[in-house]
Structure 1
Amino acid sequence: MSTPRVVTFGDNVVDCYVGRGEMYPGGNAVNVAAHLSRFGARAAYCGAVGDDPAGRHVRDSLRDAGVETTRLRMGGGPTAFCLIGHEEGDRVFLGADLGVSIIAPEAEDLSAIAQGDAVHTGRSSRIEPHLADLAERARLSYDFAVVRDADRIGRIAPLCFLASFSGGDLSDGEAEELARSAREAGADWVLVTLGGRGALLAGPGGMHRAEAVAADLVDTLGAGDTFIARVLFGLLTEEAPETLLRAAAREAAQTCSRYGGFGPAAPIAVDRSRAKSLSEIYSTETTVRA
């Protein structure tokens, strides 16, 4: 494949660094789209933000990154945000609000996805009832994040070209077992990122491993999204697993050397009184429906 086209769908936020008074565009689907564009893919983002300073910052940052935003809705409420602190360079989530970011795919979104080679979304987008519709139209990349529920993996993995997991808390043996189980459930490729220990990728040719690349650690936010984007790009362009894993490790290290998942900073412009704890946000995983 020459230049893959990838549509990302769903979650977005502005990541607000309270100690710095700055906000950056973010969210898994947004970050993956921006990095795919940087790696050479034709990337498009489908999602919803508020018609407010935060939403305009997300929109403008995507456009500046070369991401198509034809299917970006604006208005109807506030842009989602996440409040972030740091401990020794590692992120600490202080609170969040989902704003207008949780939406169901519309017919025009599905048409845009059908024109692509792949579509990426994830757990944070809360569109599980619609994943089969996405997978019918393009190869599905899905970020499970820290979800390890066997029933949920069993439902989603058969739809996946690439299933990704965050496994920094897992031993090597546990990570390998997770990758094997998702492959056995039906995913073509399974990526498990391991933080400072690198990542592993399971596919038709077996299990492949890459060590982490040393980074000038400033902020780990967005490193996993960078890794996913580079692995997906490499798979779509038919790179060897060892090659694309090494490249993904290098790119993730670069993301760790700056603040934010990508893009420029802007002054924080959200209503912090709307913030809820992450336990409240994830106490229910309500999914959108048609």
Structure 2
Amino acid sequence: MKVIGIGDNVVDMYLDQGKMYLGGNALNFSNFARELGVESSFIGNFGTDEIADYAKKALNKLNIDISHSHTLKGENGRSRVTLRNNDRVFIDSNKGGVLKQGLNMTSQDIDYINQFDIVHFNINGNANQYLPNIQGPTLIYDFSDLYKIDDIKRIAQYIDIACFSVGSMSDQNISMLVKKVHSFGITDILITRGSKGAYFLHNSEKYIQRSIKVTVVDTMGAGDAFITSFVINYKRTNDIEKSLKLAAEYAAQQVQRHGSFNNPEKIPNKYNVI
């Protein structure tokens, strides 16, 4: 099996620690998949600043293939965060940096993507225009909690598994969301709710997974970890309950370390002030 993440790479700068870590929904997917022993690649935009240099160096160490990514003049995606009661809180960001210039993929890039088993798109990836070109891979789309219903409807026909992070949403509103998404033709829907656990709907049948109680160090990347593990194991085994359990275990490991991935470097001084 091999998988690929398309879209955002964001370096998360923890001002409380003076350290920065790799991040971003699509890049987290690629990183977590590699940690789970799966061959993985990433396509996105990298800047020409020292933040981009850090990201590329870290990805090279992690053996993530970025050969089809693009380097554009400007700032790499970055955010500044801190921890409050072990929960990550975003202070500010540059809104994706050079990704705002557009992810200009070529026909060769599309052919490359279509060789993979699973492809990950997300709402921050600035790549929705390429969804109709994906033919073959299982396509998962992470809407996080940033979606609009009309946007879901517009791209639903291309999505195999839709993912949502809705920890603060009421059960009633989640049910309404699921019903609406299902009406658009998406039969597989993954809902993650942080400490409230998760559930997966397959053809309207609901499978519930409780969260695993551990000592939380940092919540950054927990939802991405759950999604990555679940989708990979679901693709491998077609066993929903087993895949949910493994995803909960992997997400529980994730919240016991700092950052989305344990590869920190010191934040450059110019970013380490508010």
Structure 2 match to 1:252: 251
Structure 1 match to 2:187: 188
Q: State the AA in 2 paired with 1:51.
A: T
Structure 1 match to 2:124: 124
Shift of 1:148: 4.4
- Within 1, Cα distance between the matches of 2:91 and 2:153? 32
Structure 2 match to 1:63: 60
Structure 1 match to 2:168: 169
**Aligned: 1:82 with 2:104:** no
Q: Which segment drifts farther, 4-13 or 183-192?
A: 183-192
Structure 1 match to 2:98: 100
Check 1:202–1:220 CA distance in 2 against 1; reply closer, same or farther (3 A cut): same
* Structure 2 unmatched runs, 5+: none
Structure 2 match to 1:133: 133
Q: State the AA in 2 paired with 1:114.
A: N
- Within 2, Cα distance between the matches of 1:270 and 1:214? 37
Shift of 1:184: 2.6
- Within 1, Cα distance between the matches of 2:144 and 2:5? 16
**Aligned: 1:12 with 2:24:** no
Shift of 1:32: 0.5
Check 1:266–1:125 CA distance in 2 against 1; reply closer, same or farther (3 A cut): same
Structure 1 match to 2:201: 202
Preserved contact between residue 180 and residue 202 of structure 1 (Cα < 8 Å)? no
Deviations 1:198-249 (A, max 9, x none): 1011113711110001122111110011111111102211341111111111
SS at match of 1:51: coil
SS at match of 2:104: coil
Structure 2 match to 1:221: 220
- Within 2, Cα distance between the matches of 1:144 and 1:260? 21
SS at match of 1:62: helix
- Within 1, Cα distance between the matches of 2:30 and 2:159? 18
* Structure 1 unmatched runs, 5+: 276-290
Deviations 1:57-87 (A, max 9, x none): 2222223223212112234112110000121
Q: Percent identity?
A: 29
Preserved contact between residue 7 and residue 118 of structure 1 (Cα < 8 Å)? yes
Q: Which segment drifts farther, 202-211 or 101-110?
A: 101-110
Q: State the AA in 1 paired with 2:178.
A: A
Shift of 1:137: 4.7
Structure 1 match to 2:31: 34
The two structures have a TM-score, normalised by structure 2, of 0.92
Preserved contact between residue 226 and residue 248 of structure 1 (Cα < 8 Å)? yes
Q: State the AA in 2 paired with 1:99.
A: G
Preserved contact between residue 54 and residue 270 of structure 1 (Cα < 8 Å)? no
Q: Which segment drifts farther, 136-145 or 258-267?
A: 136-145
Q: State the AA in 1 paired with 2:126.
A: R
- Moved >4 Å (runs of 4+): none
Calculate the aligned-residue CA RMSD, in Å: 2.1
SS at match of 2:98: coil
Q: State the AA in 2 paired with 1:188.
A: T
Q: State the AA in 2 paired with 1:5.
A: K
**Aligned: 1:144 with 2:148:** no
The two structures have a TM-score, normalised by structure 1, of 0.87
SS at match of 1:237: helix
SS at match of 1:220: coil
- Within 2, Cα distance between the matches of 1:39 and 1:166? 22
SS at match of 2:124: helix
Check 1:241–1:52 CA distance in 2 against 1; reply closer, same or farther (3 A cut): same
Check 1:41–1:205 CA distance in 2 against 1; reply closer, same or farther (3 A cut): farther
Preserved contact between residue 6 and residue 127 of structure 2 (Cα < 8 Å)? no
